[in-house]
Structure 1
Amino acid sequence: MESGTKTAYNGTRATDRGAKGAYKGTSTRAIVHQYDYLGDFYQLLLGERLVYSYGMWEDGDTLEKAQLRKLDHHAEAARATGAARVLDVGCGYGSLLQRLVEDHGVKHAVGLNMSPTQTAWARDQNWPGCEVRVENWFDHRPEAPYDAIIAIEAVEHFAGNTLWRSKRVARYRQFFERSHAWLRPGGRMSIQANAWDDRGWLPSLVLPPAGHRRPGAAALYDGARNVWEGWQASRKVYPETCLPTLSELNEASSGLFRLIETRRDPQDGVATVTAWTQRAEANRQRGAGLIGAKAVSDVISEQRTALRFLREGRFTLIRLVLERL
């Protein structure tokens, strides 16, 4: 696929593979659909810094303030302030890279991204000290060790949409092994991810959340509806992605990293998706001119589903701080 090409995902699975057929996560085709094709619409929703992940909210915040607080949180959690080299896995439009070099004194910030459009945009900003690569983390070979690694809502792409827990853990393990090799001793990682309830993806969708009681027929209807809406969102908006569970990430990083901090912040997801949905509705007509009315409706439908799932506790937002052993 040529750099800059934008096309809708056609529903066929086309996973990228590395050496000896090793699985490399969400395919380039699916990434381009989500971040380049649909990204033309998302740029109307995300705010001036184009941050495509959940913010960290306090009372009275705007979306922009919540996003800056989130970026600063990860920089500080990873102990990146004043660092010589920091890696951002899944750097998007580069908002964290900019924040690291301009506000946290990082000398060289490297961002990995599989989206040609986002990468081109970030490069065009010419931020001093920032290097943005169109590169899968699987293929990354750093020139020198990193002092810190940050991955904000990138883990969801590492295991594709495999249904089997053991395969997901093995793929997350590969990422943690690579990160361990890239980091200097004692270096830290800060991770943010959407994560299923600890019961796993299917029970999270089908079973009533804790504290929610529904009659048998209603519970069956809810479960079927959730599976259908989740599948539709995966097929139309987030192809070839899968949310981890906290236990999967803990198991995958065991023996390589010490867990320093775990946060569950579902309300940050609720507040961010609410803001995005409001902006999406306000920009429905403009968005239709960019990607078509049907694609805009698919995005808004997915956002409403995500908002409901977050409010019901079916999935959550987790933030982890890990230290290299």
Structure 2
Amino acid sequence: MSTAMKNDQQDYGGSMAAVQYHYDVSREFYSLWLDESLTYSSALWEGEDDTLAAAQQRKIDHHLTEARVARASSLLDIGCGWGALVRKASAFPALERIVGLTLSEDQADQVRSFAIPKIEVRLESWTQHKPDQPYDSIISVGAFEHFAKPEDSREVKISTYRDFFSTCSGWLTPGGRLSLQTFVYGTMRNEEASEFINEEIFPAADLPRLEEIAAAIDGVMEMTYLVNHRLHYARTYDAWARNLRRRRDDAVRLVGEEVTERYERYLKQTSIGFYTGKIGLLRMSLRPTDRGVSVLAKI
């Protein structure tokens, strides 16, 4: 058991209270400024005329491809949000079992409303999850940045991340893949992080650094793909801000002036962080280190 687990069993791997504080504001509120799939993470853009909806579907397709879902019979989505990825994955005929994990009551309700038999959503973190069978594919988009807390030391953060990667490695079948997307610190030092973001937007959460991820996977998983798409996220935040500005009156009616202003400030400030390189957006693919798997299974 890691130091982080010993220090705070409940919050290790993500705090339910903190997640619900942010994500359960109101699904109707988020629907005003996200795309129609309610995808709340960086899109993958192509060209100046690209739309937010198309770019979000392209991002989902990227993770489905990197996790090799087309050849999988089982998929785990850690931090499944409002279910856009698991819903799209359900169209793969060979995929028989899809499990989504979330700590948000509202998100779980949305996924259940799909009523797709092969999809199961669980209100639990990865630290609580006890799968009956291993998975062929694991995807996690936008959850990793909730695993550590601002007061955690570098050593505790690496220990937390290493537990996560070790757990995913153990859950994967031979030849299985993990596709991961996360915010990271860029040029900004931890102590320079915005107090407003840490307290008013994402409480009890701290960003990783690439070197912490590298230390955490050493000897556990091999990174097969890595890209910093910070400008993709800046453009995504700009699109969300425009949508919120256009529907501002509706937003105020739903959640009030104070919450609306908080999100306007958050969207603008985070966009600037990505444009300036203070924060980054990593998309990466990983596979477990050699466990005696055949050469063909690794390719």
TM-score (norm 2): 0.90
After TM superposition, list the pairs within 5 Å mapping 1:1-325 onto structure 2.
22=9, 23-37=11-25, 39-59=27-47, 60-103=49-92, 105-197=94-186, 200-202=189-191, 205=192, 227=193, 230-325=194-289
CA distance in 1, matches of 2:26, 2:209: 26
Residue 186 of structure 1, CA deviation: 2.6
Q: Partner amino acid for 1:111?
A: G
Q: Partner amino acid for 1:52?
A: Y
Residue 319 of structure 1, CA deviation: 0.6
Q: Partner amino acid for 1:238?
A: F
Q: Partner amino acid for 2:101?
A: L
Q: Partner amino acid for 2:76?
A: L
CA distance in 2, matches of 1:63, 1:85: 29
Q: What CA RMSD, in Å, does the superposition of the two structures yield over aligned residues?
A: 1.8
Q: For residues 147-198 of structure 1, what are the alpha-carbon distances to aligned partners after superposition, in whole Å with 9 as ceiling and x for unaligned?
A: 0110001101111333521111111111111111111123110000111116
Q: Which runs of 5+ in 1 are unaligned?
A: 1-16, 206-226
Q: For residues 1-59 of structure 1, what are the alpha-carbon distances to aligned partners after superposition, in whole Å with 9 as ceiling and x for unaligned?
A: xxxxxxxxxxxxxxxx9789535233222111100025542221111111010110001
Q: For residues 271-290 of structure 1, what are the alpha-carbon distances to aligned partners after superposition, in whole Å with 9 as ceiling and x for unaligned?
A: 10010000111121111122
Aligned residue pairs total 284
CA distance in 2, matches of 1:290, 1:199: 35
SS of the residue aligned with 1:187?
strand
Q: Which runs of 5+ in 2 are unaligned?
A: 290-299
C-alpha change, 1:201 and 1:19, in structure 2 (3 Å) is closer
CA distance in 2, matches of 1:297, 1:279: 14
CA distance in 2, matches of 1:314, 1:163: 20
Q: Partner amino acid for 2:215?
A: E
CA distance in 2, matches of 1:273, 1:66: 13
CA distance in 2, matches of 1:278, 1:198: 27
CA distance in 2, matches of 1:79, 1:294: 43
CA distance in 1, matches of 2:236, 2:93: 24
Residue 300 of structure 1, CA deviation: 0.8
C-alpha change, 1:136 and 1:179, in structure 2 (3 Å) is same
CA distance in 1, matches of 2:36, 2:93: 20
Q: For residues 188-221 of structure 1, what are the alpha-carbon distances to aligned partners after superposition, in whole Å with 9 as ceiling and x for unaligned?
A: 100001111167423xx4xxxxxxxxxxxxxxxx
CA distance in 2, matches of 1:297, 1:20: 35
Q: For residues 208-243 of structure 1, what are the alpha-carbon distances to aligned partners after superposition, in whole Å with 9 as ceiling and x for unaligned?
A: xxxxxxxxxxxxxxxxxxx5xx11122111111111
State the identity as a percent: 31
SS of the residue aligned with 2:164?
helix
C-alpha change, 1:84 and 1:282, in structure 2 (3 Å) is same
* 8 A contact 1:80–1:104 mirrored in 2: no
Residue 310 of structure 1, CA deviation: 0.7
CA distance in 1, matches of 2:269, 2:179: 27
* 8 A contact 2:76–2:138 mirrored in 1: yes
* 8 A contact 2:38–2:82 mirrored in 1: yes
Q: Partner amino acid for 1:251?
A: A
CA distance in 1, matches of 2:139, 2:189: 25
C-alpha change, 1:101 and 1:44, in structure 2 (3 Å) is same
